């Protein structure tokens, strides 16, 4: 496994290296970088690693700035002494969030999670599955804030994602709408295409939420959803053929 460490304390980076190789001697640490600026330049110039361990507070700012300046096309495990950054971490689809001082058991669990969830870049496996668009980070779960509350939503709990008045909402299987910050275009690239499909510009649906299909016109299909969708869920004519192939499992 090829791992990148982003950490501004050299002692912490050295300790991380030692723990990683003690867990799995075949791990290759590509580099340890102390700053936002160096990390941005590294991602621009180098192939993506399999996994990144990233401190939140770096020498020249917080590491979330990296995601604003460059694409990070690989899973990330955040490491920090503070827990208030958890929401931001999950907003950038963090694989895990470890509090310092990091225990070797927690580090081992994070590595196992990466391998188990197939997020580490095994190019041959990704090619066979054709599951996620190249360069996109698969979504493990959503951490959603509404008011003073947070809710974790797993992909299997989603009935569909829809847009309304330029806002994006996730509707759970219980019929509850929760706000999302991501656009439908971004979500389409990150959700598992074996389970989710985009019907039109306003709607991405989960296979299990499809209750009935009705002929709408010569080339279009009306989809009845459960829980109900307020407007007609019509598969656009340019997507109809792909939608039928998807239903057939092709």
What ranges do the domains of the chain cover?
Answer: 2-129, 142-247
More confident residue, 248 or 75: 75
Ranges 87-96, 98-107, 241-250: which has the least confidence: 87-96
- Write the DSSP symbol of residue 139: P
Per-residue pLDDT, averaged over 47-62, amounts to: 92
Label residue 215 by pLDDT band (50, 70, 90): confident
Residues 6+ apart with CB under 8 A from 1: 24, 26, 27, 28, 50, 51, 111, 114, 115, 120
Domain 2-129 part of CATH 3.10.20.30: no
Q: Over pLDDT 90: what percentage of the chain?
A: 39
CATH architecture of the region 142-247:
Beta Barrel (2.40)
More confident residue, 245 or 57: 57
pLDDT of residue 87: 58
Label residue 38 by pLDDT band (50, 70, 90): very high
Label residue 166 by pLDDT band (50, 70, 90): confident
pTM: 0.51
Residue 203 burial by CB count (10 A; 0-12/13-18/19+): exposed, middle or buried?
Answer: buried
pLDDT of residue 121: 38
Label residue 89 by pLDDT band (50, 70, 90): low
pLDDT of residue 91: 59
Phi, psi of 172, deg, nearest 5: -75, 170
């Amino acid at each position: 496994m090829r791992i990148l460490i982003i950490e501004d304390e050299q002692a912490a980076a050295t300790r991380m290296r030692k723990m990683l190789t003690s867990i799995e001697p075949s791990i290759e640490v590509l580099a340890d970088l102390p700053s936002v600026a160096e990390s941005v330049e590294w991602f621009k110039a180098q192939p993506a690693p399999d996994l990144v361990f990233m401190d939140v507070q770096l020498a020249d700012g917080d590491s979330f700035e990296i995601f604003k300046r460059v694409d990070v096309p690989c899973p990330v495990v955040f490491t920090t002494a503070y827990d208030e950054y958890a929401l931001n971490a999950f907003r950038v689809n963090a694989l895990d969030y470890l509090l310092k001082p990091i225990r070797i058991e927690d580090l081992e669990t994070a590595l196992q999670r990466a391998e188990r969830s197939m997020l580490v870049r095994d190019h041959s496996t990704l090619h066979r599955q054709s599951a996620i668009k190249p360069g996109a980070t698969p979504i493990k779960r959503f951490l959603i804030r509404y008011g003073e509350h947070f809710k974790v939503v797993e992909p299997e709990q989603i009935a569909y994602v829809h847009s309304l008045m330029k806002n994006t909402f996730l509707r759970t299987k219980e019929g509850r709408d929760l706000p999302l910050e991501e656009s439908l275009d971004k979500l389409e690239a990150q959700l598992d295409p074996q389970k989710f499909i985009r019907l039109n510009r306003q709607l991405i649906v989960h296979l299990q939420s499809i209750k009935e299909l009705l002929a709408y016109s010569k080339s279009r299909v009306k989809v009845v959803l459960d829980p109900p969708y307020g407007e007609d869920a019509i598969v656009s004519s340019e997507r109809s053929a792909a939608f039928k192939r998807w239903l057939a499992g092709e």
